[in-house]
């Protein structure tokens, strides 16, 4: 019988869970990746998608990129020849130096996101780009920027949320615009479902988390602010506003309260589609508290996303559900919540004049001659960015130097001049910090890199050296960076100790959000209204706004996370791809009858920017008037040669040039192609 060696490590995917894992390596060469039974979140089990992919395509020598590639065919053809690291790095460095000399560093565009959320692999490359003065495609504009900025303007920050461990002192959990059953399956199973605390879910879809809730407020998309104001009106009528808290810790409530008079329950039901009795019941349960509010990223991806986040964000201070045990709100828990300096990790001081563009403007930017080079790393823009057809045409520019760093030959990589193979998280040491819990975890190298693959940070160290850049920040080793991160998070903690434990909490005991009411705003108070909102393009005060319902014959398309994908990650695993192809979109039974489709038929979905065919399923979990089409499939792996971002016009939310992807209206028709 083969003996086994075991290595504890951590999943660094873009997920709230940050699961502890065990890599089992048998003496006969067999390897398996499983959940760590000692980890608070995974408890011995990985989610379905990670269990398949980490034991599948992630370790496949035929699917993984293992050597640098140089394009030999037309852009988009995926035709490449193998080259050495020295040759690839040398040619890229020479071409970048020429661009910088002629057009300046800002002519180099770099786009990245959360393909890995480990701190070094996710942030070290920014040191290189800050040093050369490259223009960044603002990563959060494709996801959650409107929410971040709205909270920063009101509370002074957006990444220091409640500590989930304090749920034991709560009497209510309100989950607004998040679906943990798909995007945080272990949080759904072990925190939401087993907390024993009454739960309210606000979501247009009756997903598994909503199904398990005590109250589900199934609103029509785009009516979040109206629902929040209606709840506030109920709370006021019941005499449950915490006026002492509002007077002591808030600015601007007097400009908001008069709006509540018009927000009657009958108006709210007509506007949102939620029964008045449920709105009232949920409002009173939340107000009684102490209550936790989980503000998901989904509901701010709409035309009035900034206003919606501000409106929902009124609930904690209006009821005094902040600054005490069992209360508070969460958007994301960032590194700063554990004392880690993000500026150090990215060497932001190297760039005195950072330039950025929104993902919503990426296709237009690449069409212009303003950009001479494009780096893509930790993301797959040809799958995840808007205006997909227009973007792919722009990526065909022969005069545009394109470099992609990835584990796989993605749609984006097909357009690159050079594709550089990245090592996976199983192949190097790093640090992971959950954006849900207040934890710090060790990502431990369990396996050697496949072929000649290198970690992101080593690729950019080599590129910096080839360009003659001598800044110490560009040469700092992983070991030194890990030591610095851990000393910031918990003085005296070393990587060996963390690796043995797998995960540790910072602080060790549950933390109360805003216990000292230390709001990092100019006034030191929660600023519900003010000139800063006007300067950002919003009215001074939030308002009970709602989007117009789709016109007759149109449907609102929602494209949230799939339980089988992490954005576009895992879509190239054969087992997962087969699951996805079974059903790509869902309709309410009444809409399916109107259109004349049955489960398993193909549906023609069209918007003003494109059209795509999707296999359709029928589900009463989807409200009438809505098409549910989860994001993330690889265009080249789909029957249409595109994914739902071909329907995305790149329109912006009301704040921070962020996406409004959940405000897309589409037309639907039964496909004429036989199924």
Looking at the structure, tell me whether residues 307 and 170 fall in a common domain.
Answer: yes
Contact 411, 640 (CB under 8 A): no
The number of CA neighbours under 13 Å toward the Cβ of 520 is 8
42 pLDDT more than 70: yes
Between CA 59 and CA 402 the distance in angstroms is 26
Per-residue pLDDT tens digits for 546-599: 999 999 999 999 999 999 999 999 999 999 998 888 889 999 999 999 999 999
- CATH code of the domain in which 655 resides: 2.40.40.20
Which residues constitute the domain of residue 157?
146-331+512-535
Query: Three-state DSSP class for 95?
Result: helix
Can you read off the two tokens belonging to residue 299?
Answer: 């509901």
Asked if 283 and 385 sit in the same domain, the reply is no
Q: Which residues neighbour 167 within 8 Å (Cβ) at sequence distance 6 or greater?
A: 173, 191, 195, 197, 292, 326
CATH of residue 279's domain is 3.40.228.10
User: Is 409 domain-assigned?
Assistant: yes
Question: Do the beta carbons of residue 356 and residue 350 sit within 8 Å?
Answer: no
**Considering the domain boundaries, does residue 481 fall inside one?**
no
Name the DSSP letter for residue 190: I
Condensed to tens digits (0 to 9), the pLDDT of residues 394-452 reads: 999 999 999 999 999 999 999 999 999 999 999 999 999 999 999 999 999 999 999 99
Assigned domain for 480 exists: no
Burial class of residue 77 in the structure, from the number of CB atoms within 10 Å of its CB (0-12 exposed, 13-18 middle, 19+ buried): exposed
271 and 170 belong to one structural domain? yes
Identify which of 616, 607, 608 has the alpha carbon closest to the alpha carbon of residue 670: 616
Same domain, 167 and 273: yes
Express as a percent the part of the chain with pLDDT over 70. 99
Q: Is residue 547 part of a domain?
A: no
What is the CB neighbour count within 10 angstroms for residue 669?
14
User: CA 457 from chain center: how many Å?
Assistant: 22
* C-alpha–C-alpha distance, residues 374 and 611, integer Å: 27
List the helix and strand counts (H, then E) for the chain: 24, 27
Residues 79 and 189 in one domain: no
pLDDT per position as a tens digit, 186-225 = 999 999 988 899 999 999 999 999 999 999 999 999 999 9
Q: Residue 1: what pLDDT?
A: 45
Residue 674 above 60 pLDDT?
no
In this model, does residue 105 exceed pLDDT 70? Answer: yes
Choose among 436, 22, 21, 509: nearest CA to 191: 436
Verify that 177 and 318 share a domain, yes or no. yes
Residue 228 belongs to a domain? yes
> Could you tell me if residue 353 is inside a domain?
yes
**Tokens found for residue 250:** 């808030």
- The answer on pLDDT for 248 being more than 80 is yes
Closest CA to 465 of 454, 452, 476: 476
Residue 290: asked if its preceding bond is cis (omega within 30°), the reply is yes
Q: How many CB atoms lie within 10 A of CB 405?
A: 24
Strands 554-558 and 626-628: parallel
DSSP annotation string for 171-208: SEEEEES--HHHH-HHHIIIIITTS-S-EEEE-SS--H
- The 8-class DSSP code of residue 9 comes to E
In whole numbers, what is the pLDDT of the chain averaged over residues?
A: 97
Strands 4-10 and 20-26, by their bridges, are antiparallel
pLDDT at 582: 80
Residue 542: inside a domain: no
Verify that 17 and 163 share a domain, yes or no: no
Local confidence band at 128 (pLDDT 50, 70, 90 cut-offs): very high
Domain termination residue (choose one: 13, 39, 59): 59
Looking at the structure, tell me whether residues 566 and 664 fall in a common domain.
yes
Q: Rounded distance, CA 64 to CA 409, Å?
A: 8
Q: Are 510 and 163 in contact (CB under 8 A)?
A: yes
d(CA 95, CA 103) in angstroms, rounded, equals: 12
Based on the structure, what is the number of domains in the chain? 4
Quick one: what percent of the chain has pLDDT higher than 90? 96
Same domain, yes or no, for 310 and 414? no
Supply the pLDDT for residue 28.
75
In angstroms, the Cα distances linking 407 to 415, 425, 451, 458, 639 are 15, 10, 11, 14, 23
The Cα 376–Cα 29 span in angstroms is: 34
pLDDT tens across 226-244, in order? 999 999 999 999 999 999 9
Same domain membership, residue 666 and residue 566: yes
Among 64-73, 294-303, 629-638, the least confident range: 629-638
The answer as to whether 503 is a domain residue is no
Task: Measure the N-to-C terminal CA separation of the chain; round to a whole number of Å.
Answer: 49
DSSP string, 59-77: G-TTTB--S-EEE-S-TTS
Rounded (10°) CA dihedral 536, 329, 246, 519: -60
**Is 173's pLDDT higher than 90?**
yes
Residue 639 pLDDT level (bands cut at 50, 70, 90)? confident
Q: State whether residue 474 is helix, strand or coil.
A: helix
pLDDT of residue 235: 99
**Residue 212 pairs with which residues in a beta bridge?**
none
Query: Per-residue pLDDT for 675 more than 80?
Result: no
* 122: pLDDT strictly greater than 80: yes
Q: Is the pLDDT of residue 673 over 80?
A: no
Q: How confident is the model at residue 638 (pLDDT cuts 50, 70, 90)?
A: confident
- Say if residue 2's pLDDT is above 90: no
Task: Residue 40: give its domain's CATH number.
Answer: 2.20.25
335 in Cβ contact with 433 (< 8 Å): yes
Q: Are residues 363 and 391 in the same domain?
A: yes
Q: Mind listing the pLDDT tens digit for each residue in 335-367?
A: 999 999 999 999 999 999 999 999 999 999 999
The predicted pLDDT at position 4 comes to 81
Q: Which two tokens stand for residue 540?
A: 């001074």
Check residue 92 and give its pLDDT: 99
155 and 279 fall within a common domain: yes
pLDDT digits (tens, 9 = 90+) for 493-549: 999 999 999 999 999 999 999 999 999 999 999 999 999 999 999 999 999 999 999
| CATH code of residue 378 | 3.40.50.740
CB atoms within 10 A of CB 352: 8
């Amino acid at each position: 019988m083969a003996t086994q060696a075991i290595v504890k490590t951590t999943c660094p995917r873009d997920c709230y869970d940050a699961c502890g894992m065990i890599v089992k390596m048998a003496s006969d060469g067999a390897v398996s990746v499983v959940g760590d039974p000692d980890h608070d979140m995974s408890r011995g089990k990985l989610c379905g998608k990670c269990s398949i992919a980490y034991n599948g395509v992630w370790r496949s020598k035929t699917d993984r990129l293992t050597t640098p590639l140089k394009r030999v065919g037309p852009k988009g053809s995926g035709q490449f020849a193998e080259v050495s690291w020295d040759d690839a790095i040398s040619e890229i460095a020479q071409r970048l130096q020429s661009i910088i000399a002629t057009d300046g560093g800002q002519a180099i565009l770099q786009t990245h996101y959360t393909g890995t959320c480990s701190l070094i692999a996710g942030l070290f490359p920014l040191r290189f780009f800050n040093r050369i003065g490259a223009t960044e495609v603002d990563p959060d504009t494709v996801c959650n920027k409107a929410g971040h900025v709205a909270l920063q303007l009101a509370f002074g920050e957006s990444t220091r949320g409640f500590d989930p461990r304090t749920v034991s002192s709560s009497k209510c959990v309100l989950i607004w615009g998040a679906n943990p059953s798909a995007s945080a399956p272990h949080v759904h199973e072990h925190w939401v479902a087993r907390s024993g605390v009454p739960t309210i879910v606000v979501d247009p879809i009756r997903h598994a988390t909503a199904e398990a809730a005590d109250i589900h407020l199934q609103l029509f998309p785009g009516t979040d602010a109206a629902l929040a104001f209606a709840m506030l009106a109920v709370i006021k009528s019941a005499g449950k506003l915490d006026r002492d808290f509002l007077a002591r810790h808030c600015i601007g409530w007097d400009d908001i309260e008069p709006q509540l008079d018009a927000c009657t329950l009958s108006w709210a039901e007509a506007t949102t589609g939620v029964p008045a009795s449920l709105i009232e019941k949920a409002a009173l349960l939340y107000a009684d508290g102490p209550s936790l509010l989980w503000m998901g990223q989904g509901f701010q991806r709409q035309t009035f996303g900034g206003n919606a986040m501000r409106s929902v964000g009124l609930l904690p201070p209006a009821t005094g559900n902040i600054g005490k045990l069992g209360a508070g709100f969460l958007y994301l828990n960032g590194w700063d919540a554990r004392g880690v300096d993000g500026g150090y990790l990215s060497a932001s001081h190297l760039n005195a004049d950072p330039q950025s563009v929104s993902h919503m403007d990426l296709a237009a930017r690449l069409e212009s001659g303003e950009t001479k080079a494009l780096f893509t790393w930790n993301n797959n823009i040809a799958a995840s960015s808007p205006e997909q057809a227009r973007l792919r045409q722009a990526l065909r520019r022969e005069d545009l130097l394109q470099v992609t760093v990835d584990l796989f030959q993605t749609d984006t990589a097909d357009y690159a001049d050079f594709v550089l193979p990245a090592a996976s998280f199983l192949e190097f040491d790093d640090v992971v910090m959950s954006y849900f819990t207040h934890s710090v975890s060790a990502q431990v190298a369990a396996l050697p890199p496949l072929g000649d693959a290198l970690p992101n940070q080593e690729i950019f160290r080599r590129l910096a050296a080839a360009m003659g850049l001598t800044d110490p920040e560009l040469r700092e080793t992983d070991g030194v960076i890990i030591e610095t991160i851990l000393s910031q998070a918990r003085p005296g903690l070393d990587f060996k100790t963390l690796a043995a434990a797998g995960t540790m909490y910072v602080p060790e005991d549950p933390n109360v959000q805003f216990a000292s009411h230390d709001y990092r705003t100019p006034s030191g108070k929660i600023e519900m209204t003010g000139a800063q909102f006007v300067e950002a393009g919003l009215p001074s005060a939030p308002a009970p706004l709602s989007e117009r319902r789709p016109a007759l014959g149109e449907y609102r398309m929602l494209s949230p996370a799939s339980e089988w994908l992490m954005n576009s990650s895992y879509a190239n695993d054969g087992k997962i791809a087969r699951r996805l192809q079974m059903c790509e979109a869902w309709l309410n039974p009444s809409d399916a009858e109107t259109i004349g489709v049955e489960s398993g038929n193909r549906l023609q979905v069209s918007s003003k920017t494109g059209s795509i065919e999707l296999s359709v399923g029928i589900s009463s979990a989807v409200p009438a008037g809505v098409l549910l089409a989860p994001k993330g499939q690889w265009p080249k792996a789909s029957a249409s040669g595109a994914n739902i971002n071909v329907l995305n016009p790149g329109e912006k939310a009301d704040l921070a040039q962020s996406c409004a992807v959940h405000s897309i209206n589409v037309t639907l028709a039964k496909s004429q192609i036989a199924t």
